[in-house]
Amino acid sequence: MLSSTVMSVSPGVPTPSSLTPPSPPSSSPVRAIPGSYGWPVLGPIADRLDYFWFQGPETFFRKRIDKYKSTVFRTNVPPSFPFFVGVNPNVIAVLDCKSFSFLFDMDVVEKKNVLVGDFMPSVKYTGDIRVCAYLDTAETQHARVKSFAMDILKRSSSIWASEVVASLDTMWDTIDAGVAKSNSASYIKPLQRFIFHFLTKCLVGADPAVSPEIAESGYVMLDKWVFLQLLPTISVNFLQPLEEIFLHSFAYPFFLVKGDYRKLYDFVEQHGQAVLQRGETEFNLSKEETTHNLLFVLGFNAFGGFTIFFPSLLSALSGKPELQAKLREEVRSKIKPGTNLTFESVKDLELVHSVVYETLRLNPPVPLQYARARKDFQLSSHDSVFEIKKGDLLCGFQKVAMTDPKIFDDPETFVPDRFTKEKGRELLNYLFWSNGPQTGSPSDRNKQCAAKDYVTMTAVLFVTHMFQRYDSVTASGSSITAVEKAN
């Protein structure tokens, strides 16, 4: 298994489980799914305005839980009218841990073309190829492409930690210079350069420095490419109603980023030949399938995910001097000065791991999960059973599901040591952020993120490196405002 390389060094993690939803208990009543989709056109528009403008996504879902007295209900999610005529916004929301887990039971749901709901960005963004994220496990091509992605990660495991650390040194050197010069430095650009640099070396097997244009602007090209695909489904806090009129009313065409994508494609084709050859010879993929899937893993899955996750992690640490002191103490007491950081060397940092998990619980990099019913089945929440019909689209908003009070004590509070000790480690069975539970194992038979364990271990390396280098770091918004270097 791919993940065994990394999971074997995770501290005290329970035996991986698929966490298949149990059969509904006989004591739970069968209940009609509450809520409605409203009038055609008008209902979806009203929900869209609530979702993006009047309430925001989290409040949108929480208010409906209160209204229907249920964590399972019918509603609409964007995008919708006027120009998304082929997109059905009707969903069944599943917003507690128990109902949310059905999203990952591949016996009863499918994942074909539902990465961001019934809306699917144009395949022109990926070379007219449906990449792995849009394939269902029942499709033959899924196993080939998922196995290829897992192979890339497995082969990169020997250099992953060292490349992360080397790129982190460059990032923090840049930030240090900015803080010294003006007492504040935006970390976004150095952070994205760090992410792009180490991922390109690990996944593509190429140093961006061989192409001055890619080294300088590759991360910007990926930013625009990812952003335009997701724009109809995300809020950018632009002045309303202009955001609704110009950003959420239609899909943006690929030609706006066609030139940049071609440059990235050519870079991977020229400098990632060893990886591409494995895709063709070992996994029976065409050169085009291999290259476009590799670019999607690099740009959408990895770069896009880390770009969201790392700022959340910095925000979780900022303004918490006591937490930083505890993390600093753990790092320095368990890792001797001068020790090279590896997956093995950070495996016993229980508090660091817990902080990473807690950040993923409250601020998952992928906020929404979707799945379509493969057949008629019964879905259970904590207190009810609901009849799901084949073809129904299920939608889970992770931040709400991951604050389930029946699973997590004080669920809306950031508790740094929540996932420590035996009780905390058991909670990992209910930590869903990666299209499956933290204790699950990615495979070609499921849709769990192939790099699930690499993500958490990279974040652990990020925090560990920070407290080897600094006694404290202060951030405000997207800027680092103060650093106190380690003695």
Backbone angles phi, psi at 376, to 5 degrees: -65, 135
- List, in sequence order, every residue forming a beta bridge with 470; answer none if it has no partner: 485
Residue 136 is given by DSSP the state -
Name the amino acid, one letter, at 309: F
Amino acid at 140: T
E-strand stretches of 159-266: 185-186
* CA–CA separation, 241 and 152 (whole Å): 44
DSSP track, 323-351: HHHHHHHHHHHHS-TTPPP-TTTTTT-HH
Helices in 210-320 by DSSP H: which ranges? 212-230, 242-246, 258-271, 273-283, 287-296, 304-317
d(CA 372, CA 393): 4
Question: Which of 212, 164, 172 lies closest to 190, judged by CA?
Answer: 172
User: Cβ distance 229 to 121 under 8 Å?
Assistant: yes
Q: Token digits for 24?
A: 């509904």
Residue 240 DSSP symbol: T
Among candidate residues 103, 113, 102, the one with its CA nearest the CA of residue 139: 113
Per-position b or e across 353-367, b if 16+ CB within 10 A of its CB: bbbbbbbbbbbbbbb
Residue closest to 354 by CA, chosen among 378, 374, 371, 330: 330
Beta bridge partners of 372: 110, 393
Virtual CA dihedral for 64, 68, 73, 78, nearest 10 degrees? -20
**Is 449 assigned a ligand-binding role in the annotation?**
yes
C-alpha distance across the termini of the chain, in Å: 42
* Alpha-carbon gap, residue 370 to 110, rounded angstroms: 9
Rounded-to-integer distance, Cα 357 and Cα 364, Å: 10
Q: Please, what is the Cα angle at 461 between 460 and 462, to 5 degrees?
A: 90
- In this structure, are residues 413 and 403 in contact, taking their beta carbons and an 8 Å threshold? no
Q: For residues 102 and 92, is the Cβ–Cβ distance under 8 A?
A: no
CA distance linking residue 75 with residue 162, whole number of Å: 47
Cα–Cα nearest to 5, from 470, 466, 453, 351? 453
Residue whose C-alpha is closest to residue 484's, from 256, 180, 203, 236: 180
In this structure, which amino acid lies at residue 254?
F
What residues form the annotated binding site for heme?
Answer: 449
What residues form the annotated binding site?
Answer: 449
